[in-house]
Chain A
């Protein structure tokens, strides 16, 4: 009987670059910047690392195929390095590779890297992905972009709960306002200006009903983690170290798009979060989760995700949001670091960047953003589209807690 990942793997060190328009740095430069912080934090030597994973999504514009670029950039000691890609879950997938390698006993030290260089394409937004759909889908899929894909969810949500779209837009606006307030406090965030609800509501339309300020930033960045066993962490003199409590992935199998779906929730997130809470031993997430970094690629994604994480009741996320439940001063602060909203979404790096904030908060290193006594931190990625996606969830906390 599988016992899950809880407390089997410790995070020994983490690193994260400043996210932003890093016009003059290559993906390799960004990887090194994150890695140097991470390995100094971990307090081990590079040649102790036995295996590495790198998450990167748009390989065509980044480092190309294979993990060779990561091995070259960090001059890794001819070890196993594997490139993983699973849409927006790519960073968390990289982490999962490293965590499972340690949990299996195959490695003492494993490295998870994530990087994405989005600003090398010459236009705003995510890179166009028609050629990445595959030879069949590229002949019938709609003329769709990321904001358009998620915008549909807002119309589905409004219809399901009989809301006027403007009511949903107001709650969505608060989602962005809250994240910007947090991002303003974070020196590593790309967008560091607070915004008002009025500014969000008045921002130019991108894909109905999403305005520009309902969309996350677009940035370059890298993040990484070194993981080991709790026993080794202890032997290295680490106290109150952070361990992985849960690590779950769920992928659509076609039911939402093809069979049956209310168009107002993420089937995958609902399932992955349930599995993650069971793995972490969490009974009541609304009470027990202290903080979250969720996939706020668009404000509506975060709004709906609050329900799929079983923290807001179905149909009640707008009220919780407007009540400030997810603000930094609220019961379950969400996007404490500013979220994708302020960091942007260098896809391969995002999952690890989220873990980095949870790690800092749990270790009391979050500076102006520091929360009081956080216990469990949850990270969440959602890649693809509402009706066809990859969801990853990680929960971290202190060892033995």
Chain B
């Protein structure tokens, strides 16, 4: 029962936020996490949300995923409300930590969403094999998560998010806890994956090089209250190798992002 997502066209963005605000109210202590955010995310694009801690980038991602409820404004995902979109399994979500279930083998972790969605066992096995292959972990499918390195575990969680073939992938600082060498490898991997599948990715990070390398668009946010400062298009070649990070074009975009971050950040 998977609703076909609408064809990604410029006219119908995958995510459309209008004057979105979100206030956390913990025992009368109000924290404004998002203030008046308006944003369109086009189908097939790779959009990074970047900003310092407390700028609401994760909150925005969680609101899109229906893990938080906006206080006001409108938010449309695939033409539906976030809750309907979630129930239609519109998106895959990759968390900061792999969040794999230790009692399930790697393969059965990838099959978890497929089981919940009621897919027949034969198809589950086929999908698990296919997506573990895609993240280069097919020969580890019988292992348990705790027998794998941190980077491998995060790749399993990406395969798990891809297994039900959502048109939208939401990633919340997925490589934040990994060392730089592992992170470089995964960035290259993710970039190729996005190029080959044509899916829409929304990626939360606070690393400028990572955002510039991966994205077709960068949304720069600022804290207290969380709002969008600037939206920067990344005019780099579609197919990117890691050494694109040393080209003048790359450094120019990185500079613009850094300037925007500085402008949005008041040192009070």
Q: Do they bind each other? A: no
